[in-house]
């Protein structure tokens, strides 16, 4: 007992830090009693808020009995300290609550769970959940189980609307893979609790990472929950409680209270979209995307859009300049090929889903063209466009897409009307914000117009639009729009309303709290606007006493006022018979201030005293005077001789002059504001009209620009093709020029051969044969050596003979077989056959003749045995290579020897032999020389004519 008494003498912080657990336990119990009756401003509460580290050791107390009392004291402290105490201490206490309290005795576990719930109730749930998540990966299974149990209790109490579920759902697969069965069982409990709030919307975040057995077990646990109603939040945050109390105080009623309690009733309002890292897709778009999309081939356009789709097919897209891409997609909506249209719609869908809210600025570029393309009857195209339109709406709102949809509903094409109406119905069902009253009116008018269509599908679409609106807005806002419809249509609309599933509900705004009754008007306070009479029960002010007159009469001076002073005579022109403000009198009083009937002051008028003019001066600042205003005045001219008496105080039944003055000012301001409002509305209408005109002009300019770009592209393609044709023509012209040049050289060579040193008979025979072969002239009839029966064709290879044979023999080695007449010395008749490998024409000529040879020492022809075949042109030059002497001699021989072969070098037998052989050859060919020259000239002319024709 002595020790206990000593402990109680210590201060609470000292007891919290004492080494003896009994002292600590006693301190915790004392603190619990103190905190239950304390206020947030009490010193004991402020002390523990400032020394928040005391709670860290308290909730982690090693003694289980003391720790249980510490958790109770901490809960009492949180109740007393409020939000500030929770924010100051939660970073010190959550760890100890989980590590010590949640795994302790049942009473301690309940107190620890209550501590966590209180920390969330006083502020928000995110910091507490962040402190709990690391324990899901702890090494100790019992701590993982305790953390999962705490999370289950938190979601059960506050729901997934208040507590963000995505961080916990992402960790569920790892917890389901834990080795401890208790951890897996608690993970199932947490998953079931999350399923109560989120239903099937939570599965995409984690379901694919579970094993098949785990999925089957969870499906069995989900089955009974599917038939349960949507759960409601059981415990409200302090901020939600304050909102509820305010709603009750403002007279919102039970409906508002239910709205506050059931904020998170619908799981569809919870954002469960997984978070992805944004990707920069503009770098992946082909650089020549625009050029390829402008191609005249639909395959090229589709390939370009396919590459774009591959680039933008990511969950999240980094923001950038997508104006050109979406303009190109909008242009593709008008493409004649439906495959191009489908791929373009898929691209728009992916971009809208990737950009999310950042896509709203591109809505005006793409939504209208997509709605116009609904005229396509093929289902694959309309489905793709519908998905793209839904993605655009998910990135925007109902108010942003409504103008384009209502404009599409006015289209003449039934297909466009039908699909646009279905798109509007989907928007109304999926919107999270109820439409405004103005939007409800426009959509209702569009739906009622569809009810008069001749097509049944359009009538049904109109009825469904009205039914969905009815479900969202309620009877109060929709019954007036349904007036004038017959019973059959109203029944149809009601059926659609009952069957519709919407995510938004119209909630009336809470009425402002009623203001307290305005106090009676006092001389220094203006009454409320529009209150001409004092409210019932209010005390009327006593009449204002007149101020005592001064000792000396003073000259009347105008009172200072912030309002502009009127012209002399008041607001009426002089002579109108009506008095200015200074001449107005009180009701029932026939007295007026002297000189008040004149607009200008007269020098003969007596100077009024302050007593006489005080009532007139007090009313000079008003516009309408007192009492009935102008109706209370006399239209006659007042008498100037009326005695100046002190004015009577205003009647208690009439409001004081200050009321009328303030009312006149406010009326003037209201008139000015109305005029300004009318001007602003006119300016808004004008600017709206200009904006619409500019948008139309912009669209026309875009179309013209597109046409110009296509025209330039077509011209560029024509220029490229023309250049290619020009290059081909230049190439052909060059080839023709080279051919002509070659033929000219041939002609030149023929000319040189005609004027060379060959003997006329040999040249004429050879040239005539060449011309006949070329087709320029027929072979000379009866000419020896060119008879049809004497021509023979021999291959150059076949005509070759082994080299190295002696030149003294009868046949020379090489490509020419020349008859050998040596050794005879007497005239001989021989038949000679020359086989020449003609490289230009491939013809070997044979000629037979019996011609005596000269009786020279060596016979007719001699050869060195190294005869070489040469070209046709070289054969006509008449040169004969000599073997040893390197001398050239004219080719000579018997009749029938061809001129197409060059003779080998002849053996230098002597001057007499060479001269005798030359003279005999010349004598043999002298007969037909003139005729051969004439024929050669004709052939040359024919050849030149053919060359000119070829040019």
- Residue 543 pLDDT > 80: no
Question: Domain check: are 117 and 164 in the same one?
Answer: no
Q: What is the pLDDT of residues 488-506, one digit of tens each?
A: 999 999 999 999 888 888 8
Quote the DSSP letter at residue 359: G
Which range has the worst mean pLDDT, 32-46, 323-337, 718-732, 849-863? 849-863
Q: What is the pLDDT of residues 637-694, one digit of tens each?
A: 444 444 444 444 444 445 566 778 888 888 888 988 998 998 898 889 889 888 988 9
- Residue 284 pLDDT > 70: yes
- Residue 937 pLDDT > 70: yes
Q: Which of 93, 200, 113, 202 is nearest to 158 (CA)?
A: 113
Question: Domain check: are 338 and 195 in the same one?
Answer: no
- Give residue 504's pLDDT: 86
Q: What is the pLDDT of residues 707-734, one digit of tens each?
A: 999 999 999 999 999 999 999 999 999 9
Residue ending a domain, among 183, 204, 227, is 227
Question: Domain check: are 101 and 148 in the same one?
Answer: no
Pairing verdict, β 791-792 and 844-848? antiparallel
**Pairwise CA distance, residues 662 & 796, whole Å:** 133
**Pairwise CA distance, residues 772 & 803, whole Å:** 33
Name the residue with tokens 């405004």: 436
Q: Which two tokens stand for residue 107?
A: 């009473």
Residue 368 is assigned to a structural domain of this protein: yes
Mean confidence (pLDDT) of the chain: 73
Question: Domain check: are 99 and 153 in the same one?
Answer: no
Provide the pLDDT confidence category of residue 52 given band limits of 50, 70 and 90.
confident
Contact 570, 582 (CB under 8 A): yes
Provide the pLDDT confidence category of residue 616 given band limits of 50, 70 and 90.
very low
**Pairwise CA distance, residues 371 & 37, whole Å:** 67
Question: Domain check: are 199 and 343 in the same one?
Answer: no
Residue ending a domain, among 96, 123, 150, is 123
- Give residue 276's pLDDT: 66
Q: Which residues pair with 522 in a beta bridge?
A: 525
- Give residue 380's pLDDT: 92
* Position with higher pLDDT, 755 vs 420: 420
Cβ neighbours for 780, distance < 8 A, ≥ 6 positions apart: 764, 765, 768, 786, 935
Question: Domain check: are 145 and 93 in the same one?
Answer: no
- Give residue 810's pLDDT: 40
Which range has the worst mean pLDDT, 174-178, 214-218, 236-240, 890-894? 890-894
| pLDDT more than 70, % of the chain | 62
Mean pLDDT of the 624-645 span: 44
Residue 544 is assigned to a structural domain of this protein: no
Q: 877 exposed, middle or buried (CB, 10 Å; 0-12, 13-18, 19+)? A: middle
Q: Which two tokens stand for residue 384?
A: 């793709």
Q: Please state the φ and ψ torsions of residue 832, each to the nearest 5 degrees.
A: -110, 135
Residue 7 is assigned to a structural domain of this protein: yes
Q: How far is CA 410 from the centre of its chain?
A: 27
**Pairwise CA distance, residues 750 & 938, whole Å:** 13
**Pairwise CA distance, residues 794 & 816, whole Å:** 12
Question: Domain check: are 375 and 402 in the same one?
Answer: yes
* Position with higher pLDDT, 580 vs 705: 705
Q: Which residues pair with 847 in a beta bridge?
A: 832
- Give residue 505's pLDDT: 86
- Give residue 9's pLDDT: 72
Cα–Cα distances in angstroms (integers) from residue 284 to residues 93, 299, 301, in the given order: 50, 20, 17
Q: What is the pLDDT of residues 770-793, one digit of tens each?
A: 445 555 444 444 444 444 433 444
* Position with higher pLDDT, 939 vs 546: 939
Contact 374, 415 (CB under 8 A): yes
Residue 732 is assigned to a structural domain of this protein: no
Residue 157 is assigned to a structural domain of this protein: yes
**Pairwise CA distance, residues 77 & 82, whole Å:** 8
- Give residue 660's pLDDT: 80
- Give residue 753's pLDDT: 82
**Pairwise CA distance, residues 79 & 39, whole Å:** 9
- Residue 703 pLDDT > 80: yes
Question: Domain check: are 304 and 398 in the same one?
Answer: yes
- Residue 559 pLDDT > 80: no
Q: Which of 627, 613, 576 is nearest to 597 (CA)?
A: 576
- Residue 587 pLDDT > 90: no
Segment of 1-15, 317-331, 648-662, 841-855 carrying the highest mean pLDDT: 317-331
Residue 202 is assigned to a structural domain of this protein: yes
DSSP per residue over 300-319, as a string?
A: HHHHHHHHHHHHH-SSSB--
Provide the pLDDT confidence category of residue 929 given band limits of 50, 70 and 90.
low
DSSP per residue over 292-304, as a string?
A: HHT-SSHHHHHHH
- Give residue 278's pLDDT: 82
Provide the pLDDT confidence category of residue 827 given band limits of 50, 70 and 90.
very low
Cα-Cα-Cα-Cα torsion 738, 741, 742, 744, nearest 10 degrees, comes to: 160
- Give residue 715's pLDDT: 93
Range of the domain at 487: 288-499
Q: What is the pLDDT of residues 454-475, one digit of tens each?
A: 999 999 999 999 999 999 998 8
- Residue 619 pLDDT > 70: no
- Give residue 891's pLDDT: 39
Residue 545 is assigned to a structural domain of this protein: no
**Pairwise CA distance, residues 232 & 240, whole Å:** 14
Quote the DSSP letter at residue 572: S
DSSP per residue over 613-656, as a string?
A: HHHHHHHTT-SS-STTGGGGS--SPPPTT----PPPPPPTTSPP
Question: Domain check: are 148 and 117 in the same one?
Answer: no
- Give residue 8's pLDDT: 77
Q: Which of 934, 871, 885, 879 is nearest to 903 (CA)?
A: 879
- Residue 766 pLDDT > 80: no
DSSP per residue over 29-86, as a string?
A: HHHHHHHHT--TTSHHHHHHHHTTHHHHHHHT-SSHHHHHHHHHHHHHHHHHHHHHHH
- What pTM was computed for the model? 0.42
Quote the DSSP letter at residue 333: T
Question: Domain check: are 59 and 146 in the same one?
Answer: no
**Pairwise CA distance, residues 435 & 505, whole Å:** 9
- Give residue 509's pLDDT: 62
Contact 581, 571 (CB under 8 A): yes
Residue 763 is assigned to a structural domain of this protein: no
Question: Domain check: are 146 and 118 in the same one?
Answer: no
Question: Domain check: are 221 and 84 in the same one?
Answer: no
What angle separates helix 414-430 from helix 456-473, to the nearest 10 degrees? Answer: 20
Q: Which residues pair with 791 in a beta bridge?
A: 845
Segment of 477-486, 598-607, 791-800 carrying the highest mean pLDDT: 477-486
What is the count of structural domains for the chain?
Answer: 4
List Cβ<8 Å contacts ≥24 apart for 262-267.
262/232, 262/233, 263/161, 263/162, 263/233, 264/159, 264/160, 264/161, 264/162, 264/197, 264/233, 265/161, 265/230, 265/231, 265/232, 265/233, 266/230, 266/503, 267/160, 267/197, 267/198, 267/199, 267/201, 267/230
Mean pLDDT of the 591-615 span: 41
**Pairwise CA distance, residues 832 & 817, whole Å:** 9
Q: What is the pLDDT of residues 96-129, one digit of tens each?
A: 999 999 998 999 999 999 999 999 999 999 999 9
Residue ending a domain, among 499, 530, 554, is 499
| pLDDT more than 90, % of the chain | 40
CATH of the domain at 411: 1.25.10.10
Q: Please state the φ and ψ torsions of residue 659, each to the nearest 5 degrees.
A: -65, -50
């Amino acid at each position: 007992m002595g020790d206990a008494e000593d402990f109680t003498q210590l201060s609470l912080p000292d007891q919290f830090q004492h080494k003896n657990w009994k002292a600590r336990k006693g301190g915790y119990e004392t603190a619990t009693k103190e905190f239950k009756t304390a206020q947030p401003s009490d010193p004991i509460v402020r002390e523990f808020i400032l020394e928040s580290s005391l709670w860290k050791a308290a909730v982690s107390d090693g003694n289980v009995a003391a720790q249980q009392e510490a958790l109770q004291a901490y809960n009492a402290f949180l109740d007393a300290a409020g939000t500030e105490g929770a924010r100051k201490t939660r970073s010190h206490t959550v760890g100890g609550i989980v590590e010590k309290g949640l795994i302790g005795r049942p009473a301690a576990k309940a107190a620890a769970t209550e501590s966590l719930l209180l920390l969330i109730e006083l502020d928000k749930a995110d910091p507490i959940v962040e402190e709990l998540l690391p324990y899901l990966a702890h090494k100790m299974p019992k701590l993982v189980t305790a953390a999962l149990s705490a999370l289950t209790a938190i979601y059960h109490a506050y729901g997934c609307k208040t507590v963000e579920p995505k961080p916990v759902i992402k960790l569920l697969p790892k917890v389901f893979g834990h080795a401890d069965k208790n951890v897996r069982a608690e993970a199932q409990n947490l998953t079931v609790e999350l399923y109560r709030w989120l239903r099937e919307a939570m599965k995409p975040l984690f379901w694919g990472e579970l094993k098949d057995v785990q999925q089957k077990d969870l499906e069995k646990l989900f089955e009974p929950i599917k038939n349960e109603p949507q759960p409601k939040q059981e415990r409200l945050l302090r901020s939600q409680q304050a909102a509820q109390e305010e709603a009750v105080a403002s007279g919102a009623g039970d409906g508002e209270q239910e709205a506050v309690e059931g904020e998170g009733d619908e799981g569809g309002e919870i954002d469960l979209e997984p978070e992805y890292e944004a990707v920069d897709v503009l770098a992946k778009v082909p650089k020549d995307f625009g050029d390829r999309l402008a191609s005249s081939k639909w395959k090229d356009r589709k390939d370009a859009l396919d590459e774009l789709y591959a680039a933008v097919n990511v969950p999240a897209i980094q923001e950038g300049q997508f104006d050109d891409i979406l303009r190109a997609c909008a242009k593709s909506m008008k493409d004649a090929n439906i495959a191009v249209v489908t791929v373009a719609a898929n691209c728009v869908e992916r971009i809208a889903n990737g950009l999310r809210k950042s896509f709203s600025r591109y809505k005006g570029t793409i939504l209208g063209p997509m709605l116009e393309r609904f005229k396509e009857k093929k289902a694959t195209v309309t489905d793709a466009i519908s998905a793209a339109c839904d993605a655009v709406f998910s990135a925007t709102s109902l108010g942003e897409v409504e103008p384009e949809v209502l404009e599409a509903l006015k289209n003449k094409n039934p297909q466009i009307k039908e699909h646009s109406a279905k798109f509007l119905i989907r928007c109304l069902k999926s919107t999270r914000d109820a439409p405004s009253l103005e939007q409800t009116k426009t959509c209702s008018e569009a739906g009622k117009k569809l009810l008069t269509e001749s097509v049944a599908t359009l009538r049904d679409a109109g009825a469904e639009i009205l039914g969905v609106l009815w479900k969202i807005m309620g009877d109060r806002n929709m019954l007036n729009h349904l007036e004038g419809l017959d019973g059959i249509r109203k029944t149809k609309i009601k059926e659609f309303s009952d069957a519709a599933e919407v995510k938004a509900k119209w909630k009336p705004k809470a009425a402002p709290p009623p203001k307290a009754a305005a106090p009676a008007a006092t001389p220094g306070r203006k009454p409320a606007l529009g209150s001409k009479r004092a409210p019932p029960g209010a005390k009327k002010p006593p009449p204002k006493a007149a101020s005592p007159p001064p000792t000396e009469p003073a000259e009347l001076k105008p009172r200072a006022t912030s309002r502009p002073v009127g012209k002399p005579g008041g607001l009426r022109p002089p002579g109108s018979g009506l008095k200015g403000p200074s001449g107005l009198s009180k009701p029932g009083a026939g007295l007026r201030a002297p000189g008040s009937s004149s607009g200008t002051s007269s020098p003969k008028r007596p100077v009024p005293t302050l007593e006489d003019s005080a009532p007139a001066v007090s009313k000079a600042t008003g516009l309408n005077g007192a009492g009935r205003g102008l109706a209370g005045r006399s239209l006659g001219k007042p008498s100037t001789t009326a005695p100046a008496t002190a004015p009577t105080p205003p009647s208690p039944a009439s409001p004081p002059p200050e009321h009328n003055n303030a009312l006149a000012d406010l009326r003037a301001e209201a008139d000015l504001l109305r005029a300004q409002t009318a001007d602003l509305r006119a300016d808004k209408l004008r600017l709206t009209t200009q904006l619409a005109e500019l948008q139309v002009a912009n669209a026309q300019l875009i179309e013209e620009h597109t046409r110009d770009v296509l025209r330039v592209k077509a011209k560029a393609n024509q220029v490229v093709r023309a250049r290619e044709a020009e290059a081909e023509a230049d190439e052909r012209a060059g080839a023709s020029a080279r051919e002509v040049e070659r033929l000219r050289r041939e002609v030149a060579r023929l000319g040189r051969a005609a004027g060379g040193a060959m003997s006329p008979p040999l040249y004429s025979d050879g040239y005539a044969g060449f011309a006949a072969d070329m087709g320029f002239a027929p072979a000379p009839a009866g000419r020896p050596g060119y008879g049809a029966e004497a021509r023979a064709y021999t291959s150059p290879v076949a005509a070759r003979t082994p080299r190295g044979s002696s030149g003294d023999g009868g046949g020379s080695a090489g490509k020419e077989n020349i008859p050998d007449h040596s050794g005879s010395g007497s005239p001989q008749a021989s038949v000679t056959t020359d086989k020449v490998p003609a490289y230009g024409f491939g013809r070997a000529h044979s000629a037979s003749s019996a011609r005596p040879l000269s009786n020279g020492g060596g016979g007719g022809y001699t050869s060195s045995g190294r005869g070489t075949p040469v070209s046709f042109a070289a054969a006509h030059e008449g040169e004969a290579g000599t073997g040893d002497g390197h001398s050239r001699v004219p080719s000579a021989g018997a009749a029938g020897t061809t001129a197409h072969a060059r003779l080998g070098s002849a053996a230098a037998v002597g001057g007499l032999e060479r001269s005798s052989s030359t003279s005999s050859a010349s004598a043999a060919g002298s007969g037909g020389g003139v005729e051969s020259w004439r024929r050669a000239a004709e052939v040359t002319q024919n050849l030149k004519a053919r060359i000119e024709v070829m040019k």
